[in-house]
Structure 1
Amino acid sequence: MDTVNAAVRVRKVLYHHRTQGKAVEGVHIRGITDALRAEGVEVEVISLPGADPYASPGAMSPTRQARPWMKLVTRLPEPLFELAELGYNLVAGWRVAAWLRRNPDVDFIYERYSLFMYATVWLARRRGIPVILEVNDSAIVERVRPLSLKRLAMAVERRAFRDADGLVFVSGVFRDRARAAHPDMAPAIVTPNAANIAKFSFSAAQRAETRERLALEGHVVCGYLGAFVPWHAIDAFVHRIAGRLAGVPRLKLLLVGDGATYAPLRAFVEERGLSGQVVLTGRVAHDEVPGLLAAMDMAILPSAGDYTSPVKLFEFMACAVPPVAPDFEPIREVLEEGETGWMFPAGRLDAAVDAVIARSRDPDGLARVGANARRRVAERHQWRNNILQLVDFHHRLQADGVRT
């Protein structure tokens, strides 16, 4: 099957999600939607009210982008919060049903799966419309906010995963864990996250300007881009490397973003007199990101989920910034050690520090691996690759007669 024609053969898709549509969630939603539209597919996005992923604020601040009512709901006691999630089925069902009445010719529904959500799958089955769930979350994984109504969440999830036409997982280990918990789940494919290479291209002038502005000239720069939250461990990484920075004066850290651990980390850097080697930008506008990435020679991902596919991994690679990342299985599925990046034993931040310091002594190696990483994204890990795989999956499901 010609992959381009496969995408063109789909005319209209409904993309439904119940996320805030910000930060990484928004990047992923826009990546899939824009790639489908670029292939001539009409895509309608139905979002949580007030959570349009195309209306994200112009600054990188995942902890500050939620609407006031969203923050209020998240502060509910856990059982009430989860009941509110369950109750959203009524809102989603009404909105999706109304859209389907106006658009009976939709080819399929693509939903970013959320806990306790079943209304869209139920509607699709009633109307004979194919529905594919993109699974980034699950009741089977360890959560920052532990589930209170876990048995109910598992029951709803089991039904949704069984009744959907197909499932898309971001990693093989995630798919396998889901299949072990839900043996009767629908057919599934694995599609890691991606990046749009055109949005992560920069000029030598951009690199020079940013490095001059931030006093990075003549240094090897290890960057971080993302949320400053405990589970990403950028603060813990800086604490570990702090005592060794004096021994590698050519190395500088460029840390971009903010969040709960940002203020304490800034205070630590100032108290230890590390401001000359640790540059903290805080919040930045999205249009500043390519220039900041351009200034980096490598990037650090101190931690990641053991089943997730970090979007920033692909964004670093797309910018020819080779990553140093934990060796979780989803990352091993993407990175080739010493060719497109480097890995350290997950959870061992001392090993991450050792890797960054060792790599900083080999600028030529950084440039070579960075160029390889960018080529790998261009060939395999752009959002266009993802939607072509998705559309081919849809066609195969229909040809196999998954729903009769």
Structure 2
Amino acid sequence: MTQTSPAPSALQPRRVLYHHRTQGKAVEGVHIRGITDALRAEGIPVDVISLPGADPYASPKAMSPTRQARPWMKLVAKLPEPLFELAELGYNLVAGWRLRRYLNAHPDVDMIYERYSLFMAITVLIGRARGIPVILEINDSASVERVRALFFLKMAMAIERWTLSRCAGLVFVSGNFRDRVQQVHGVPLAPAIVSHNAANIDKFSFTPEQRAAARAKWGLEGHVVCGYLGAFLPWHAIDQFVMAAAESLKAQPNLKLLLVGDGITFEAMQTFIKAQGLERQVVMTGRVAHDEVPGLLAAMDMAVLPSAGDYTSPVKLFEFMACGIAPVAPDLAPIREVLKEDQTGWMFQSGDMKAAVAMVARRSQEPEELKRVGGAARDYIAHERQWRHNIVDLLALFQRVRPTR
């Protein structure tokens, strides 16, 4: 898709191609749209080449995180691991053909920005051949623990080492991840920056009337509301949190949980909540479109992030903060990079659900503290962590690595 925009300055790329091999939905889509929209707001034309059938501007925004965007993707995902990885490797041929065709039609492209995927090397090869800097955004690595263990691990590591050292620049989502990848590969990588996720304040703002309407819709009036937003997956641990919180909730009738999303553990959680007689205290909305999220966030007083990856930058954390919602999150290194204890949120020892429950229970009794910390969190996002801040850093990196025109 092509965006018509005012001509950029001589210090900016004339046109950017954003290339990715994701399904473009859920958090992936949020991040892709955040970067492309912010570039376009700077007057830089951006085109997006997606996995066929996975345009982040067209994919179903309310899709379950465990559902494939297209039927053929479901078939590929069910392949045995060796065949699945060979399919990923083979996609270089498809991507190469599509990239060359696009670049032949758009000679004004000055930068290719790619969301890095395992086994993908063709973009860097083409960029080097054509003298176009390729900047990779690193959200994944062959070095991290995976739900599906890599079968061709050595090949994945070798391709990744070559790609990350031969591209023009790297954008890591956390400093911890940058250091980890550098240490694992043990070779000089391309120039790199750290650019945590973000959230635009204007998309996460609401009036008192909207808050009142949301709380009335979900039966939350007169209660302190702790929210959760995201996938209901085992590694996100929202099911573990709810199970650990059952007795605490019964002892605190003023506290309600508002859980937004769905996934593998959704039905088991519903069954548990019903068995515990907590249907009135634990509200589960099910799957919602991303556009509905701000309205649901408006109903919350605080939010919990029970678990997160030890190298990732969770988008939901920034959306909580953008809404002025005080977050409670695990004390993982990437979260410590953006959250200031007792200033913009609170942290508990990662993996300790009892500590997470105790923190939520304690803070739910301190409404003024919730307002203070929530306000400070929103100020932090407004001044440092909107998507335009990511673009400022990206364009500075582009200036460092771009060839002389």
TM range (shorter): over 0.9
CA distance in 1, matches of 2:34, 2:348: 29
Q: Provide the C-alpha distance between the structure 2 equivalents of 1:307 and 1:286, rounded to a whole number of angstroms.
A: 24
Change (3 A) 1:257 1:230: same
Q: Provide the rounded CA distance (Å) in 2 between the counterparts of 1:381 and 1:325.
A: 18
In the alignment, which residue of structure 2 is the partner of 1:206? 210
Question: What residue is the counterpart of 1:233 in the other structure?
Answer: 237
* Alpha-carbon distance between aligned partners in 1 of 2:347 and 2:163, rounded to the nearest angstrom: 35
Q: Deviations 1:117-148 (Å, cap 9, x if unpaired)?
A: 00000000011111100000000111111111
Kindly indicate whether residue 356 of structure 2 is the aligned counterpart of residue 348 of structure 1: no
TM-score, with length taken from structure 2:
0.96
Q: How does 1:119-138 map to 2 (within 5 A)?
A: 119-138=122-141
1:186 is the counterpart of 2:190: yes
* 1:84-113 Cα distance to aligned partner (Å, 9 max, x none): 000000000110011111111211110000
The one-letter code of the counterpart of 2:270 is R
Deviation at 1:246, TM superposition (A): 1.5
Matched residue, 2:171 = 168
- The TM-score with structure 1 as length reference comes to 0.96
1:7 and 1:287 map into 2 onto residues whose CA distance is 36
Task: Give the root-mean-square deviation of aligned CA atoms.
Answer: 1.4
**In the alignment, which residue of structure 2 is the partner of 1:177?**
180
Aligned twin of 2:12: 9
Report what 1:272 is aligned to: 276
Instruction: Report the Cα offset of residue 215 of structure 1.
Output: 1.2
- Equivalent residue, structure 2, for 1:314: 318
Residue-pair matches, total: 397
Q: Is the CA contact (8 Å cut-off) linking 2:11 and 2:399 kept in structure 1?
A: no
Partner of 1:74: 77
Write the letter of the residue equivalent to 2:247. Answer: G
CA distance in 2, matches of 1:125, 1:288: 42
Give per-residue Cα distances to partners, 1:8-39, cap 9 Å, x unaligned: 73221000000000100000000000000011
Unmatched runs of 5 consecutive residues or more in structure 2: 1-7
Counterpart Cα distance in 2 of 1:125 and 1:251: 57
The change in CA–CA distance for 1:7 and 1:246 in structure 2 (over 3 A counts) is farther
**Aligned partner of residue 227 in structure 1, secondary structure:** coil
**Offset from partner CA, 1:266-323 (integer Å, 9 cap, x none):** 0110111001110111112333211110000000000000000000000000000111
- Output aligned runs, 1:368-379, within 5 Å: 368-379=372-383
* Letter of the 1:189 counterpart: I
Partner of 1:298: 302
Structure 1: state its 5+ residue gaps: none
Matched, 1:47 2:47: no
1:6–1:388 contact (8 Å) kept in structure 2: no
1:363 Cα deviation after fit? 0.7
Alpha carbons of structure 1 residues 303 and 285: separation in structure 2 relative to 1, 3 Å:
same
Does residue 85 of structure 1 match 2:97?
no
Q: Distance in 1 between matches of 2:251 and 2:177?
A: 40
The residue aligned with 2:3 is: none
Which residue type is aligned with residue 306 of structure 2? P
Kept after mapping to 2: 8 A contact 1:7/1:391: no
Letter in 1 for 2:254: R
Q: One-letter code of the match for 2:352?
A: R
- Percent identity, aligned pairs only? 67
**1:241-256 maps to which residues of 2 (within 5 A)?**
241-256=245-260
Which of 41, 51, 60 is residue 57 of structure 1 equivalent to?
Answer: 60
Structure 2 CA distance for aligned equivalents of residues 398 and 133 of structure 1: 14
2:101 matched to 1:98? yes
1:108 aligns with 111
Q: Do 2:68 and 2:74's aligned partners in 1 also have CA atoms closer than 8 Å?
A: no
Q: Higher mean Cα deviation, 49-58 or 133-142?
A: 49-58
Question: Does 1:156 find its partner at 2:179?
Answer: no
- Letter aligned with residue 127 of structure 2: A
